[in-house]
Amino acid sequence: MKKILFLIAAFATFAFAGEGETIKAYSVLAAGVGLGLAALGGAVGMGNTAAATIAGTARNPGLGGKLMTTMFIALAMIEAQVIYALVISLIALYANPFL
């Protein structure tokens, strides 16, 4: 798996790189990988949150409303972390501080 990722990075560098464009190429690659990992982590966290809320509601249906409110707050915080990763990726792409 490491060899495949290394080859993808190497080919992406050559595909995007012209003269002195390697930093931009690596920024595109880093933004894509970083945003993908953030979305994956957010999806796992949201799934765990929803599963825990459903299990809690099944055990005690009277607390369903409170659990649902708490779940929506937790989902908003999880989604905020993914949006922060998106902002950092956009900064790395368009206002690249490494150039």
Mean residue pLDDT of the chain comes to: 86
Summarize pLDDT for 28-47 with one digit per residue, the tens: 888 888 899 999 999 999 99
> What pLDDT, on a 0 to 100 scale, did the predictor assign at position 13?
66
pTM exceeds 0.75, yes or no:
no
Interacting residues of 97 by C-beta distance below 8 A, sequence separation 6+: 91
pLDDT band of 16, cuts 50, 70, 90: low
Q: Residue 67 is which amino acid?
A: L
DSSP symbol at 98: T
Q: Which domains does the chain have, with CATH numbers?
A: 2-94 (1.20.20.10)
